[in-house]
Structure 1
């Protein structure tokens, strides 16, 4: 059959490329194409492959609660001691929250305009609608009560990620109020746990090509190739929303803060390119810090703002999460009012803070959000087919946004260009 030839040619070429690059992205592309071809040519066989996508889903779900808990505690207790960091900490947190909220709003508006998920009817949609009607809080006070956990172990077991996030916030605040001596062991434990969960994620992601291929085969085999139209609309919606965010939010912020735009763009070009090519914010972190210091941001501001931004200011990922969450509801045929969408955005304001600067880490938060609002997971696996293309763009925006944040805070503090740049940094930028 056609898919056999396509699969082996694709795997041979792209697989060799993957070995050289040491990245899963080519494998996921190959799996996506092979899965679509299997679903088209052998639909009866393809629908039986769903078990492999379900295995991948279960593995991902085991990561959600401990990862969100550890990263939120580490981010707040490690960087959010406002008494310790003073004005810079307050200004940074305010800036991060305003910019990420605007990213959520733009993502929400974009997906409601494009309606990229509408028409992608899924078998589980009716069941999901009934479940939503049964368990969704009827009043605002019920929802507010549901936000707070009564038993953290129960919240973890039931996948109530918003309750886990709220617990993590209060736990981190309590830690920040302790002396450094008493806080340090718990903070090291949380840092170690977050690192372990990131490694866990990396191990599980080796199964991603199989999970994605199986999900694509099942989807196309069950629904037909028409699903690819929705994926194309979603991809265009994301890129359009990111461009709108850059022009309507980041550029005005830069102009208001009197950031030297041309010099900034020149300085950020290399780390942005690294982020786009690798889909990994962390890969661009060292170069981004060097570039901003060479631009004129004092090292102490660079060292605080950019690492803190990796937990609190992932604008591209936050915008994507807003867009993808509503896409899932649209694909499931579930109508969400503006009030319900606002509740979901409020949840994402918290849970998105745990997004790591690694490829496809947003999948964890997206699955958690879908579970919290009782949305089906099938559309998420449909999204995985083009996630690599979306990941490159949103990661680049994450890096540029954090670089811009460091310059804005430096200007806000009146420290931009006030200190001589290290010769080592200048030598590194000249390489």
Structure 2
């Protein structure tokens, strides 16, 4: 068994043990909420270690990749292709969520169950409206130090593009600096491998905390909604993989296999950010040149959250159904376009999907209190969203690499990526 397969096995073991311990704590402890809070500290520590790695990893790999491209036109061309794919993928995800929620109509069953909160109840979620000024202010960092301190991936990408392009333009005089940053990238990949050793413990703590606090009963109460949502996720996976086969060929299935570990990690930790380093590694093992993967993947983390897109339309219409509000097709299509825009303006916001949904509900006069239907199960839903985001961004990067002729042969499984050459 390779180290990679062993880690995956340990993560799954942590998941199962977390469910068992969480159930025991919820049913036998006098203060399961206190136990859950203590366990969540372990997960928080792990996620903070991941965030510690992401900013320098994104900066170093992206700068080296762009500097070695040496052509600003090439960077622009790849960026346009990536954004074009992201827009199409987001529209597909939003549309699929809209279609399936109208077919399944999970809100009708919730309305009959009598669990719908009063329309005047407070959800506790602060809404965030979308304006062009907010997006521009969020796009470009006033200071790269501030952007890195806050782990604003999009801002780090913008600065890295300028920095890498400048280094390429300077040429030989910048070579020592590029080599030094290349060394930083390899060090950060090695640090990532150290941090990932704690993943099984973090997964155990995250699942135990959630089950201890909410209990397995919450799954039974919302079982129909959760089941139909996960069916929708599976259908989105199949659709994205099918599109990937069209552009990349059958070998896209090998990519899905190589992304198994980061997908499981994102699912169990309910964080696609936690899976970023391993996703980057999986793409390079698949044959995507590091300079391209390091460029496309961070942008995807801000613009191509396919799982979150599907959830936004699915959950928004679900809440309307639960309150007996029938929205005409024209209104639903308008809502979809609004979600397309608002979701791009709040990258990096905590509980971003709920914030986007809250803002959308207000605009379409749907009771914001409906968010209370989601709060208790949001962690379980976020697990599916995060895993889907990893798959969506992996396929997107592979497709752009194929378009650019930057998709080579897969790298051997046993190869240590921390010692690989950034290409």
TM class, shorter-chain normalised?
A: 0.5 to 0.7
**Alpha-carbon offset, residue 234 of structure 1:** 1.4
**Alpha-carbon offset, residue 382 of structure 1:** 1.4
SS at match of 1:161: coil
Q: Deviations over 1:166-202 (max 9, x none)?
A: 33456689x7xxxxxxxx636766776785xxxxxxx
Give the aligned partner of residue 68 of structure 1. Answer: none
Give the aligned partner of residue 293 of structure 1. Answer: 284
Give 1:17-416 correspondences, 5 Å limit.
Answer: 17-22=39-44, 85-118=75-108, 119-120=110-111, 122=116, 124-125=118-119, 161-162=129-130, 164=131, 166-169=132-135, 185=142, 231-258=222-249, 260-354=251-345, 356=347, 360-416=351-407
TM-score, length of structure 2 as denominator length: 0.62
Report the CA distance shift for 1:230/1:83 in structure 2 as closer, same or farther (over 3 A): farther
What root-mean-square deviation, in Å, do the aligned CA atoms of Structure 1 and Structure 2 show?
Answer: 4.2
SS at match of 2:237: helix
Larger RCO: 1 or 2 (CA < 8 Å, sep 6+)? 2
How many residues are matched?
308
Q: Deviations over 1:328-378 (max 9, x none)?
A: 111122111111111111111011124546873312212122222232122
Report the CA distance shift for 1:387/1:304 in structure 2 as closer, same or farther (over 3 A): same
What is the CA–CA distance in structure 1 between the aligned matches of 2:347 and 2:377, rounded to whole Å? 20
Report the CA distance shift for 1:83/1:185 in structure 2 as closer, same or farther (over 3 A): farther
What is the CA–CA distance in structure 2 between the aligned matches of 1:258 and 1:314, rounded to whole Å? 23
CA contact (8 A) 1:359 1:391 kept: no
**Structure 1 residue runs without a partner (length 5+):** 25-78, 129-157, 176-183, 196-208, 217-224
CA contact (8 A) 2:266 2:387 kept: yes
CA contact (8 A) 1:317 1:394 kept: yes
**Alpha-carbon offset, residue 93 of structure 1:** 0.6
**Alpha-carbon offset, residue 278 of structure 1:** 0.7
**Alpha-carbon offset, residue 98 of structure 1:** 0.4
Report the CA distance shift for 1:419/1:12 in structure 2 as closer, same or farther (over 3 A): closer
**Alpha-carbon offset, residue 301 of structure 1:** 0.9
TM-score, length of structure 1 as denominator length: 0.61
Give the aligned partner of residue 425 of structure 1. Answer: 417
**Structure 2 residue runs without a partner (length 5+):** 1-25, 47-65, 67-71, 153-208
Report the CA distance shift for 1:365/1:19 in structure 2 as closer, same or farther (over 3 A): same
Report the CA distance shift for 1:398/1:124 in structure 2 as closer, same or farther (over 3 A): same
What is the CA–CA distance in structure 1 between the aligned matches of 2:77 and 2:248, rounded to whole Å? 17
